[in-house]
Every structure is written in C-alpha cells, then in structure tokens.
Amino acid sequence: MVRIRLRRVGGRSQASFRIVATDKESPNNGRFIEILGFYNPRTQPATIQLKEDRIYDWISKGAQPSDSATQVFKVAGLTERYERFKSGEKVETLLAEAESAAAVRNANRQTRREAPAAGMSRKKKVAPAAPAPAAAPAEDAPAVEAQAPEAPEGTPAE
C-alpha cells in the first residue's frame, strides 16, 4: 500500500519536509517513490509547494495520506479541490486555482528568527579608533607668557 507522508530534511533544529509517495513498509526517511511537494513550517506563514496533479493521481490510485500530510493538504486547500475533482470538475481549472492560491499564500514569507544584520557575526567587532583631534596651530592660539611675580620694592631681589 502506498502512503503520502512527510519526509524530514534540513539540519538540526531547522526542520523542513518533503511530501513523498512511499511504500507503507518503508522507514520514515527511507526509500520513496516520488516527491510530491515541500513543506517548511519555519517560515511565517508556512511555505507549502505541492504538485497537485500528481497528488490527485496518487490518491485516485488508492494512496492514503498520513495525518500530518492531511493537515498540510487542508491548510493548502487541496482536500477541498480534490473533492471537486472527484465530482467531475476539470483538472486544469483546479490547478489554475491552486497556483493562484499558492501565490497568495507564499507572497510574504519571513523566517521566524530574524537574520543577523549584514556584516555582523557572532564575534564582536571592534570599531576602528577615531583619529585624535589635531592640535590647534600656534598662530590661532593666544600666546600666554609666564611672567615672574614682581617683588615688592622694599625686599631685595634674588
């Protein structure tokens, strides 16, 4: 039996998922038959890219979506469109509707964690030392001459 389920990709603490058609007996991240889409829950709103025509084909052949794949399909509106497909609506109109919905849904994606500012790294950067202010030229500064105090007239001068 074929299942449509999520296959984890991405680094540690940076999970994203491929939506794949796989044999029910295969391990979660093992061999798969076909990649049907992509899901990234780390963006705001979540990024969902689906090959809806292939998903319709697999489900019509008897593939069962997993619980998590069903939730992703509901968020993307695929389950509603699939019901309309079963009732006889043309695939081309459904795919055009799916593309416009995906464009609206994926228009303003942002990662949840803000990216560091350009040029910044984990290490603190030391700002270059500001140049010392130049000394004022001697012509501009008033000349102050040190004058020896004058001795009173009644005392002998040294």
3-state secondary structure of 100: helix
Give the global pTM: 0.61
**Contact indicator for 39, 16 with CB cutoff of 8 Å:** yes
CA end-to-end span of the chain: 119
The structure tokens 């795919």 sit at 95
Helix (H, G, I), strand (E, B) or coil at 28: coil
What whole-number distance in Å separates Cα of residue 12 and Cα of residue 33? 25
CA distance 80 to 62: 18
Rounded to 5 degrees, what are φ and ψ at 36?
Answer: -110, -10
H/E stretch holding 69: helix 67-76
* Domain locations in the chain as residue ranges: 2-108
pLDDT value at position 123? 56
Give the pLDDT confidence score for residue 111 in this predicted structure: 64
At the fourth CATH level, the homologous superfamily of domain 2-108 is Ribosomal protein S16 (3.30.1320.10)
Six-digit token pair at 57?
Answer: 């084909």
- Torsion angle (degrees, nearest 10) of CA 72, 39, 105, 117: 140
Pair of tokens at residue 101: 């919905």
Q: What is the pLDDT along the chain (158 residues), one digit of tens a residue?
A: 888 888 888 888 888 888 998 888 877 777 888 889 988 888 878 888 888 888 888 888 888 899 998 998 888 888 888 888 888 878 888 888 888 887 777 766 666 555 556 655 555 555 666 666 665 555 665 556 656 666 666 666 55
